[in-house]
Structure 1
């Protein structure tokens, strides 16, 4: 019984500390116009991107998401109904993310996953209104 209570308290306190660390890191990255995110191709093809989720820190600027060697020139972004990861997808993408669709200049349709609390800021950086 005591072990279960200790595990529960440890999980709660650890989760709160982890959330604070993630939030502080997000704030530091935002000062440089960056965000932790994920990208994957849904349809079409895009240089250096695939149908598997890829995660990294991305540089955001008007009309661009630059993540590692992937440069997405945005021609359309649908942020009207962000979705949350579901099912087995939560093994590859944090359940705390919001996922929106991006159409790139290559014609590829990609999904862009950003922590839900950071999505409005990220959309502002690429000049896309929610």
Structure 2
């Protein structure tokens, strides 16, 4: 069984929180010192996969494949799995698993950023890497 790893994005300060003195409840709510702080933070989970350089791939990461196409890693709730979505579909906000690049081999991709720290990577189209 793989370990459950996650990181926490502070929406107000726009930084990753390295201080893991938080409590993640089974219902997905995040608590600090007994207070529910879920609305101020974004929790992203490790997919269990590393990229071609050994870097851990998390939900919200932006990947570039071997052909230069850009994809965003998203959690697809209906199937309880992570998928990669081309950025045009991600930007539309209207994506589902039909926008998944099914032949993509994640371990051959490279993490080039994430949707939180690098929103500028989402401005082009999927072939702008």
User: TM-score of the superposition, structure 1-length normalised?
Assistant: 0.26
Question: Greater share of helix residues, 1 or 2?
Answer: 1
Larger C-alpha radius of gyration, 1 or 2?
Answer: 1
